[in-house]
Amino acid sequence: MLDILIIGGGPIGIACGLKAQKAGLSFVIIEKGCLVNSLYNYPSTMTFFSTSEKLEIGGIPFVTISNKPTRAEALEYYRRVATSNHLPINLFEEVTAVTRDNAIYTVTTSQATYQAKRIIISTGFYDVAVNLDIPGENLPKVKHYYKDPHYFAMQKIVVVGSSNSAIDVALETYRKGAEVTLVIRGSEISQRVKYWVRPDIINRIKEGSIKAYFNSNLKAIRETEVDIETPEGAITIPNDFVMAMTGYKPNFDQLKKWGLKLADDKFIPEYNHETMETNQPGLYLAGVVCGGMDTHLWFIENSRIHADMIVDDIVAKRR
């Protein structure tokens, strides 16, 4: 019988484990992928917007060469935090069911069955891509995840979106020799784009190095071309790859199956903002999963406090 079972082995799940360990609680972290799986799937060249001290968890210093850490540095940091503190983390083990009976939770995974008095869900939002819902979206040439720009060298790329991920893809593939076209639903590059990157993409568009269609939508995808609806009318351009950087969302179906109440509009889960406990007694939320479709509300730096809030509540109720 565990005091806590933590679902999700990302930075916030690890932070919850560190806090539980300090409180003397028995726990295990279950992660369906590798350690900090979402960070691992970030682009290989990614640099964080936040400074290293804002990404620290458990009061453990995060020392980096420059002010803003890279993906590689973050992977090294969180791995060393987990291993040096000997956190019990089961990787590549997927949770398939969560049920509650007489204040005890039974968690079934792809490998075992556990019982716990409390559950913390820190599953993030990077696993489910937001679809375009247009013809041809299921073609192999359409990708929602991006790793490295070299793959797209000398290819005709359509990038959908105007936030950080889309702009990074557009600039990096352009600099590796791709012919890049941006399709942007709004009238400008998102104001949330990193402040040192936004002028770069604006200048590349102005000089004509990257073509951008504003107030436009991708309407259909075919093997060698795509249709774009622009303010001047529909156009068809040749195309090799579509990078649909349209964002990601939590697994809402899974949350509902586990008994959580979600708001109808943005699917924000119901929870106590002081303790992070949901409508299910003893089941807590931590990290970006709290934001529903508003995935830009929570980050590592402002949700790492969830670990303290949750474990403090659990300890207080035990007393």
Phi first, then psi: what are they for 156, rounded to 5°?
A: -90, 115
Determine how many CB atoms are found less than 10 A away from the CB of residue 188.
13
State whether 80 and 169 are in the same domain. Answer: no
State whether 227 and 298 are in the same domain. Answer: no
State whether 237 and 291 are in the same domain. Answer: no
Residue with tokens 């936040």: 50
Q: Of 244, 263, 278, which residue sits at a domain end?
A: 244
Cβ atoms of 111 and 212 within 8 Å: the answer is no
State whether 187 and 266 are in the same domain. Answer: no
Cα separations in angstroms, 297 against 7, 16, 287, 292: 21, 19, 10, 9
Contacts of 63 (CB under 8 A, 6+ apart): 52
State whether 109 and 253 are in the same domain. Answer: yes
State whether 155 and 214 are in the same domain. Answer: yes
State whether 168 and 277 are in the same domain. Answer: no
Cβ atoms of 145 and 122 within 8 Å: the answer is no
> Radius of gyration (Cα) for the chain, nearest Å?
21
State whether 176 and 208 are in the same domain. Answer: yes
State whether 236 and 270 are in the same domain. Answer: no
* Total number of domains constituting the chain: 2
Q: Of 194, 218, 244, which residue sits at a domain end?
A: 244
State whether 253 and 234 are in the same domain. Answer: no
State whether 9 and 87 are in the same domain. Answer: yes
> Which pTM value belongs to this model?
0.87
State whether 116 and 180 are in the same domain. Answer: no
Cβ atoms of 53 and 114 within 8 Å: the answer is no
Domain that holds residue 264: 2-128+248-318
Q: What sign has the CA pseudo-torsion 120, 124, 129, 133?
A: positive
Please report, in tens digits, the pLDDT of each residue of the chain (319 residues total).
Answer: 999 999 999 999 999 999 999 999 999 999 999 999 989 988 888 888 889 999 999 999 999 988 899 999 999 999 999 999 999 999 999 999 999 998 999 999 999 999 999 999 999 887 788 899 999 999 999 999 998 999 999 999 999 999 999 999 999 999 999 999 999 999 999 998 989 999 999 999 999 999 999 999 999 999 999 999 999 999 999 999 999 999 888 899 999 999 999 987 889 999 999 999 999 999 999 999 999 888 778 889 999 999 999 999 999 998 8
Quick one: three-class SS letters along the chain?
A: CEEEEEECCCHHHHHHHHHHHHCCCCEEEECCCCCCHHHHCCCCCCECCCCHHHHCCCCCCCCCCCCCCEHHHHHHHHHHHHHHCCCCEECCCCEEEEEEECCEEEEEECCCEEEEEEEEECCCCCCEECCCCCCCCCCCCEECCCCCHHHHCCCEEEEECCCHHHHHHHHHHHHCCCEEEEECCCCCCCCCCCCCCHHHHHHHHHCCCCEEECCCEEEEECCCEEEEEECCEEEEEECCEEEECCCEECCHHHHHHCCCCECCCCCCECECCCCCEECCCCEEECHHHHHCCCCCCCCHHHHCHHHHHHHHHHHHHHC
CATH of the domain at 150: 3.50.50.60
Q: Output the six-digit token pair for 65.
A: 């060469």
